Chains A and B, each alone.
Chain A
Amino acid sequence: MSDCSDHDPNWVPYKERPEWNDVTPIPENDGPNPVVVIAHSEKFEDVYGYFRSVLQRNEKSKRALHLTKDAVELNPANYTVWQYRRDILKTLNTNLQSEFAYVESVIKQSPKNYQVWHHRRVLVEWLQDASLELELTKDALEQDPKNYHAWQHRQWVIKTFGLYSQEMEFVDILITEDVRNNSAWNQRYFVLNNHLGWSDLNVQKEICYTLEKIKFVKNNESAWNYLRGILLHDKRGLCGNAVVSSFCEDLYKNKCRSPYLLAFIIDMCDEAIKKDETNCLYNPERAIELCEALASKYDKIRTKYWNYLLERFRKCRGEQIINSNGLMDEIE
């Protein structure tokens, strides 16, 4: 946070303000031999000296409210200042509409500050009014579409106040703008999971939507992960959905060797093995072949990982052979 005391010609220190001459500031007591000492500006020392004094007196007044604003400006991460500000607001029965506008301005300056988002949430809880929140978080996400704080606040208001109706549209816009925006894909899952539900129809619709996006950018982990997420809600699993498997096989036949595609087919093989439903497409041999291809050619940064998976598949192929031999013995 920048300290603009040197640049603000209108700044009058609290110690020079007549309306404050009844208050004696309390300097910070950091002990005889402090470490990690911050060489604060004079303005910072002045404001926090008065803040300590006001807090000790437990003074909840208009001037104290104003003081917290100066203290927040110098350090928006001071959670005690924010808490004290809330306590003053409550005591004075202040009109909170102007507080909403104020917090919005602080969020614009410090969009990744935990304390200010928390303050916002408490205000919304107090007033039980979330009417400004979708717009506020939309603005923050326009600045940074992956701002974790904004997403967290947005999910909280949507969930608490049931504001799902426009959310799918919002997610669509973000994914259209940047198909690799993982936060937006996550939000899509959130809406499906809490609002639209995973009916067979919705699962099919989401699969079609996602496959379209993958067709557009094949090397997009976010979309592939989402596809996996949808299929958690398809009783037939990863490889039981004909649309998905023929899509993957087509990509493969058309020489697509995205590590995400190959990993997906490996997982289909893995599932078939676990369910004891291996077939000519999904079986340990194919998984081994794909692991080898990833390790040696298509995803070399993870060579060791693919070799590790390969060993696991070799082991289970071995077990399969032993099992089938055992079966043969019984038949004989």
Chain B
Amino acid sequence: MNNEENKDIAHRQHVKYFMRFLNILPPSLSSHDTTRVTIAYFSVAGLDVLGSISSMSLELRSRIIDWLYRLQVHPYKETGNMSICGFQGSSTINMDLEVTDSMCHYRCGHLAMTYTGLCILLALGDDLSRLNRKAIVEGVKALQTVEGNFAATLSGCESDMRFVYCAACISYILNDWSGFDIEKATDYILRSINYDYGIAQCPELESHGGTTFCALATLALTDQMHRLSEQQVEGLKRWLLFRQIDGFQGRPNKPVDTCYSFWVGASLKILDALQYSNYGSNRRYVYETQDSVVGGFSKWPDTCTDPMHTYLGLAGLSLIGENGLLEIEPTLNITKRAHTHLKSLHQQWAES
């Protein structure tokens, strides 16, 4: 890779890169089979931050929307059970199953897929009219645990901070918090603040840049930032800013990685402290991981690119005001453009 050429966004190449992922993927990606919606999210959100949604054909846009709506799990008419509702990540298990409680657990929504699915719909300008909003909220409600965190799906899944965040985003997007116990979730988040003031996946685990983002974004979305003490806020700023080496690392004494320019950057943005980081070094690092020939970003220089690091690299650059990129709404991890569209939908729902 020629670093001299790596001073600007390889805009055209990244657009092509995301278009390729939206189309067809090689068998080596079979282990992503159940999370195809997230690949679609990184690609569509990436095109959005590049300001290129309009360069997608209308046909492609409606294809994506139709494909997503097919992944929405509806309540069974027979039982009315809504706990299974939400989006699946793919159609791997979307055949008809016997209508019993034990069987319907095999075909149910997944919080990360519902969240990223909703983000795609917003980025593409869909009006969310084909959503069964009440059912999705009930699906979210069924996944909150006694501890206050969320499992991703009804059966066979761990529960942690990632899904607290997904549940908060879904509730915010649907403008309905009846499936999300804010008090319990806030308590879980506060208990997951570590002795170094970073926030972990669950209480007492090691502080982590990604889970700190999930926790802070949730506090912001639920309007609970005031629950952090001044000491905690200042401690978090310090812990997050200390993650900067040139780019950002996710934990102390770990290598830097492009994706933390977003996770840590957005956390700092939420705390109104991103301006205390060093934009130049951050930017230089992210550009070192850009493949300006075929598009894409990787986590480290000269390694394999992937859609997640590509989107998060661009989103991280957008946070520090890079030219040619749309502004990001850090809490939801969508563009401000998509967020404005969401706000207009909330307005419509309130009026109807």
Contacts and interface: CB of A to CB of B under 8 A. Distances in A.
Interface stretch (A132-140, A222-230, A284-292): A222-230
- Which of B22, B205, B207 has the largest number of chain A CB atoms within 10 A? B205
B253 A220 contact: yes
7 contacts: A36-B25, A56-B98, A87-B102, A152-B205, A226-B195, A302-B276, A308-B273
Given A226-B195, A305-B241, A40 B95 contact: no
B207 to A, nearest CB: 8
Contact of A1 (B30, B238, B251, B278): B30
Interface residues of B, number: 72
Interface in B63-108: 63-64, 66-67, 70, 90-98, 102-103, 105-106
**Dominant secondary structure of chain A at its interface with chain B:** helix
A39 B157 CA distance: 27
Contacts of A303: 278
Contacts of A52: 92-93, 95
B110 to A, nearest CB: 8
Contacts of A121: 158
Interface stretch (B132-140, B196-204, B220-228, B343-351): B196-204
Interface residues of A, number: 69
B206 interface: yes
A77 B237 CA distance: 35
B22 A36 contact: yes
Contacts of B22: 35-36
A36 B39 contact: yes
Q: Nearest 5 pairs between A and B by C-beta?
A: A83-B156, A229-B195, A1-B31, A305-B276, A225-B196
A325 to B, nearest CB: 26
A84 to B, nearest CB: 7
Contact of A86 (B32, B37, B90, B156): B156
A55 B275 contact: no
Contacts of B90: 30
Interface string A1-15: 111000000000000
A186 B206 contact: yes
Contact of A221 (B24, B33, B93, B252): B252
B55 interface: no
Contacts of A213: none
B204 A83 contact: no
Contacts of A38: 24-27, 29-30, 32-33, 36
Interface in B259-300: 273, 275-278, 281
A141 B95 CA distance: 40
- Which of A31, A40, A305 has the largest number of chain B CB atoms within 10 A? A305
A105 interface: no
A190 B205 CA distance: 8
Contact of A180 (B29, B207, B253): B253
Nearest to B33: A75
A154 to B, nearest CB: 10
A263 B25 contact: no
A320 B155 CA distance: 59
B177 interface: no
Nearest to B70: A31
A146 interface: yes
A182 B242 contact: no
A65 interface: no
A35 B91 contact: no
B40 A36 contact: yes
Interface string A302-320: 1111001000000000000
Given A36-B22, A38-B27, A38-B29, A55 B238 contact: no
A302 B27 CA distance: 44
A44 B70 CA distance: 22
Interface string B25-60: 111111111111101100100000000000000001
B172 interface: no
Contacts of B31: 1, 74-77
B278 A3 contact: no
A33 B201 contact: no
Interface in A136-192: 146, 148, 151-152, 155, 180-183, 186, 189-190
A97 to B, nearest CB: 21
Interface string A230-241: 001000000000
A29 interface: yes
A192 to B, nearest CB: 10
A221 B158 contact: no
B229 interface: no
Nearest to A31: B70
Contacts of B194: 186
A182 B155 CA distance: 33
A305 B275 CA distance: 8
A80 B245 CA distance: 40
Given A38-B29, A80-B106, A83-B156, 7 more contacts: A29-B94, A38-B30, A38-B32, A52-B92, A77-B35, A78-B33, A115-B156
